Amino acid sequence: MLAKLIVALLLMALCVAIHVVGLTTAVHRLRRDTMSLPLSFGRSVGVLIAIAAWAIVLHLLQISVWALFYVFEHGMPDLPTALYFSAVTYTTTGYGDLVLPAEWRLVGGVEALTGILMCGLSTGFFFAVLVKTFEAAPSADRETRL
C-alpha cells in the first residue's frame, strides 16, 4: 500500500509540474503580448477566453497522465475507458460506474485531491488575470474620477 501511495504522490508531483510550467508559460506570454498595453473590453475578454482554454488543455494533459498510468498498470481495460475514469475522478464528479481494482483505489483518491488542487490553482490564476486585465483596460469612469 505504501508503494502505491508513493506512486500516487509522484503522479501528483508530475501534475503540479505540468500545471506550474503551463501557467508560467501563460504568464510570460501575457506579459510579452498583452499586459504591457491597455486592453479594450473585447481584447480583455479574448485574453480570458484564451486563459480558460489553456487551463483546460493543462487539465486534460494531467487527466491523460493519470489515464495512461491506469492503462499501464491494468487498472482500466483500455485508454478511452481510462480517460473517462480519470476525467470523472480528477474533476471529482465521481459517477461510480467504473472503479479501480481494490489495490489501486487510494491512487484514485489522490487523483481527485490533485484535481481539486489544480482546479483551485487555475481558478486563482484566472482571477489574477481577470483583475490585471481589467486594471489595465481603459475606463471612462476611472478617468473622470481622477
- Summarised one tens digit per residue, pLDDT across range 131-146 is 887 776 555 554 444 4
Query: What would the pLDDT profile of 56-111 be if each residue is shown by its tens digit?
Result: 999 999 999 999 999 999 999 999 999 999 999 999 998 999 999 999 999 999 99
Topology of domain 59-135, CATH: Helix Hairpins (1.10.287)
Burial class (CB in 10 A: 0-12, 13-18, 19+), 30: middle
* Cα→Cα distances 47→29, 106, 142, Å: 11, 38, 21
Find out whether 62 and 30 touch, Cβ atoms under 8 Å.
no
**Grid cell 467504473 in the structure block, residue:** 98
* DSSP code, position 73: T
Segments making up each domain of the chain, as ranges = 59-135
* DSSP code, position 103: G
